[in-house]
């Protein structure tokens, strides 16, 4: 594989931004941005992943009876952490698949979960759990003991988090899991935060400090707005894109604190630097997004209407563009919303993006249909195209670990949630 990579010579296009470099330049001003055009032709890889172990069983030991696996992650020792959102606990498994410990439970006290939405594992084994009910982050030691809690602040938005390798901070992306605000007596409006941002969260103080980690593109509806408050009460707000085929924001953390992300309908993976958040590199593949024609719009509306008909009572379906619909089979209002739905101009080429333990970028492309998964590309942050897995050959890993470990959340033949741990080849991890 190394020789093959050496023969892949990406096209490098130097783009000069703003004026010439000056000593007083702010981050991004006058700095060179490199656009690297990757090959058009796919180089197919075989998913020869060795299965290491799997956990989760309906009739197994009690620790393996998972309710809803919300997140998985590894520490640098190769221990797998499984966040069971339904059971309000974190289960730790060693590299051989053996039970180590579990911690957390439902409750209102310190270290107890009221409405835990996400978990992230730091490389040193500490665990951070975002709890909307507490409006705080629980920080657990590698032993599972609670170290402390850090408040989220008045405006609390829980997005899917990732740990910075070797750092003390977290990266918060755009996958919104929950949002809440706490009104102040006498206040009538509040500026709601932009849901399409990539932020860095610092948990060293009693209240989390947040800064912008990378500047991203977003449609007009995502910009901060002021909305009336509801009589000083706290409420949770869920938001989704306002148009069909709106490009979603996907992001992952690279070694050294850089961030790889996709924020448009094009195949353009941007890499933002740790200092200043400016985009230093853009990796592109010269594919053209499909225009959203009347035929495409009609087909997407029909697909959403069929989802309403097929949906079982009380189920939830996630449509293209991130719209979440739930209920008991739909009604006139849902149908009207679908029929009057507006659309973006193009069907996005990128459907998801993940980054591996050692800094590979996994990019899920769209498939033959506008709302379908296609091949998975493996890119190196320095601009090399490693190769691609064919459509359906493998899902995206849900977590990457050391020594090539990768975890996949799956279901067995009895529809029981399991976590399968495999070992990836070095070139893709």
Cβ distance 155 to 190 under 8 Å? yes
Q: According to the model, what pLDDT value does residue 287 have?
A: 97
Residue 336 lies in a domain: no
Report whether pLDDT(189) > 70: no
DSSP state of 106: B
* 241-264 tens-digit pLDDT: 478 999 999 999 999 999 999 999
* 143-164 tens-digit pLDDT: 999 999 999 877 676 778 899 8
> What are phi and psi for residue 370, nearest 5 degrees?
-55, -40
Mean pLDDT for the stretch of residues 203-219 = 87
* 291-340 tens-digit pLDDT: 999 999 999 999 999 988 887 444 443 344 444 444 444 578 889 999 99
Residue 209 lies in a domain: yes
Q: According to the model, what pLDDT value does residue 413 have?
A: 82
Q: According to the model, what pLDDT value does residue 192 have?
A: 64
* 42-70 tens-digit pLDDT: 999 999 999 999 999 877 899 999 999 99
Report whether pLDDT(240) > 70: no
Q: According to the model, what pLDDT value does residue 3 have?
A: 40
* 368-390 tens-digit pLDDT: 999 999 999 999 999 999 999 99
Mean pLDDT for the stretch of residues 161-189 = 73
Within a 10 A sphere around the Cβ of 189, how many other Cβ atoms?
Answer: 11
Q: How far apart are CA 170 and CA 123, in angstroms?
A: 12
Distance between the two ends of the chain, CA-based, in angstroms? 13
Q: Write a three-state SS string for 268-319.
A: EEEEECCCCCCEEEEEECCCCCEECCHHHHHHHHHHHHHHHHHCCCCCEEEC
Q: How far apart are CA 402 and CA 200, in angstroms?
A: 23
User: Considering the entire predicted model, what is its pTM?
Assistant: 0.84
Q: Is 46 exposed, middle or buried (0-12, 13-18, 19+ CB in 10 A)?
A: exposed
Residue 308 lies in a domain: no
Q: According to the model, what pLDDT value does residue 167 have?
A: 66
Length, in residues, of the chain: 429
- Counting the structural domains of the chain, the total is 1
Written as six digits, the tokens of 351 are 């459907």
Ramachandran assignment for 5, one of left (phi > 0), alpha (psi -120 to 50 degrees), beta (any other): alpha
Mean pLDDT for the stretch of residues 404-421 = 93
Residue 332 lies in a domain: no
Written as six digits, the tokens of 208 are 């989390």
Residue 54 lies in a domain: yes
Q: Distances from the Cα of 280 to the Cαs of 58, 251, 422, in angstroms?
A: 48, 15, 33
Q: According to the model, what pLDDT value does residue 235 have?
A: 43
Q: According to the model, what pLDDT value does residue 231 have?
A: 54
Residue 313 lies in a domain: no
Reported as a pLDDT band with limits 50, 70 and 90, residue 83 is very high
* 94-136 tens-digit pLDDT: 999 999 999 999 999 999 999 999 999 999 999 999 999 999 9
Residue with more model confidence, 225 or 76: 76
CATH of the domain at 359: 2.120.10.30
With both helix axes pointing from N to C terminus, report the angle between 332-339 and 294-310 in degrees, rounded to the nearest 10: 160
Residue 146: give the domain boundaries: 2-292+344-428
Report whether pLDDT(238) > 80: no
β-strand pairing of 417-423 with 50-55: antiparallel
Token pair 């609670």 is found at 146
Residue 328 lies in a domain: no
Token pair 């309403």 is found at 308
Residue 323 lies in a domain: no
Q: How far apart are CA 240 and CA 131, in angstroms?
A: 21
């Amino acid at each position: 594989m190394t020789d093959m990579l050496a023969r892949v010579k990406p096209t490098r296009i130097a783009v000069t931004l703003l004026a010439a470099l000056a000593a007083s330049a702010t981050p991004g001003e006058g700095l060179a941005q490199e656009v690297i055009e990757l090959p058009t032709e796919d180089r197919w890889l075989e998913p020869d992943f060795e299965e290491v172990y799997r956990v989760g069983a309906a009739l197994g030991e009690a620790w393996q009876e998972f309710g809803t696996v919300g997140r998985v992650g590894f520490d640098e020792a190769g221990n797998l952490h499984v966040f069971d959102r339904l059971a309000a606990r974190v289960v730790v498994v060693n590299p051989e698949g053996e039970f180590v410990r579990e911690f957390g439970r439902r409750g209102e006290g310190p270290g107890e979960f009221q409405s835990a939405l996400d978990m992230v594992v730091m490389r040193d084994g500490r665990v951070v759990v975002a709890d909307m009910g507490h409006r705080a982050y629980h920080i657990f030691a590698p032993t599972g003991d609670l170290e402390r809690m850090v408040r989220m602040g008045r405006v609390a938005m829980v997005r899917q988090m990732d740990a910075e390798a070797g750092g003390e901070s977290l990266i918060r992306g755009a996958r919104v899991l929950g949002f809440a605000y706490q009104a102040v007596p006498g206040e009538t409006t509040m500026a709601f935060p932009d849901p399409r941002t990539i932020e860095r969260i610092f948990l060293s103080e009693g209240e989390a400090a947040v800064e912008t980690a990378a500047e991203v593109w977003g449609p007009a509806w995502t910009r901060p707005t002021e909305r009336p408050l509801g009589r000083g009460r706290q409420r949770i707000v869920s938001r989704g894109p306002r148009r069909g085929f709106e490009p979603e924001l996907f992001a992952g953390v690279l070694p050294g604190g850089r961030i790889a992300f996709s924020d448009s309908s094009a195949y353009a993976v941007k890499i933002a630097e740790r200092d200043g958040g400016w985009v230093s590199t853009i990796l592109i593949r010269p594919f053209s997004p499909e225009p959203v024609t009347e035929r495409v719009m009609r087909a997407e509306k029909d697909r959403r209407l069929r989802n309403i008909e097929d949906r079982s009572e009380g189920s939830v379906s996630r449509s293209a563009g991130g719209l979440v619909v739930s209920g008991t089979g739909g009604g006139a209002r849902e149908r009207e919303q679908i029929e009057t739905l507006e659309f973006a101009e193009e069907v996005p080429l990128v459907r998801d993006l993940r980054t591996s333990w050692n800094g590979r970028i996994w990019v899920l492309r769209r498939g033959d249909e506008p709302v379908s998964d296609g091949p998975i590309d493996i890119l190196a942050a320095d601009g090399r195209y490693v190769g691609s897995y064919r459509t359906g050959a493998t899902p995206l890993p849900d977590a990457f670990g050391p020594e090539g470990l990768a975890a996949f959340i799956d279901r067995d033949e009895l529809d029981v949630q399991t976590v399968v741990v495999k070992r990836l080849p070095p070139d893709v991890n």
